[in-house]
Every structure is written in structure tokens, then in C-alpha cells.
Amino acid sequence: MSVPDHFSPGVPAVEAPPIAHARFSIGDVVRHRLFDFRGVIFDVDPVFANSEEWYESIPEDVRPAKDQPFYHLLAENSDSSYVAYVSQQNLVADDDADPIDHPAISGLFDRFEPGRYRLRPERRH
């Protein structure tokens, strides 16, 4: 029986990066730890998956590590609603019982329960 090349003696093994576990799920309402905005999660990346330009635009003293989950949020602050991309280390569960005021919510979620939104059935897979 032949041994595949990737198991050959003397060839160093390639270690997989550690797997970070997502603390939050799609539909969870969260708040940013440092900045005054909150939002509902609509997608999760297991590790950083945005542009290098976006990453470098974050001030170095608050720039998060890339090897953690990043969340896409339908976000709001006192002035507007927008889409945000936030690292896990910068999010906390939101204790506010009020829903998020974002125009895209009704297209993804069908109802609000305290602390989370329920994804529309046609959006689940």
C-alpha cells in the first residue's frame, strides 16, 4: 500500500489554525462594547473576511485580532441605521428590550422576541 505524499516521513505537518467558536447567533441583538450602537446579527464569519484596507482603517490601539468570529449587523445609533462588521471581542449581548429600527429587518426576520429576532422561514437553510 502506498502512502500519500502528505504523510511522508520528514515532511512537516501543517497545523490548522485554532477554531474560534461564535458566541452569538443570527438573530441575536447585540451592543458594541466601545461605541454607542446596537444591532441584530444577520451573518457570521468564523474569522475576519473583509478587505485589508477596511482592517487597516481601524486605529491600531483598538484593532481586533483577525482570528475570531466577525459579525454582520443591521445596526442603529441615535442618528441612523447602517450595516456594521464587528469582531466578537467588541460585542456584548444587548439588555435593551426594544427592537432594532433598521429598514432591512423585515426582509430577513419575521418577529422580535426580547433579545433576538426570529429568521424568516424562507431565509433558513
- Opening angle at CA 24, ends 36 and 57, nearest 5: 50
Q: Answer whether residue 41 is part of any domain.
A: yes
Rounded mean pLDDT, 43-61: 95
Q: Answer whether residue 96 is part of any domain.
A: yes
CATH label of the domain that carries residue 98: 2.30.30.390
Number of domains the chain contains: 1
Whether 70 and 88 have beta carbons less than 8 Å apart is answered as yes
For the chain, the C-alpha Rg in angstroms (whole number) is 19
Whether 54 and 93 have beta carbons less than 8 Å apart is answered as no
Give pTM, 2 decimals: 0.82
Q: Answer whether residue 9 is part of any domain.
A: no
- Which is higher by pLDDT, 99 or 9? 99
Residues 70-84 have pLDDT tens digits of 999 999 999 999 999
Quick one: cell of 46? 468564523
Cα 48 from Cα 65, distance rounded (Å) = 8
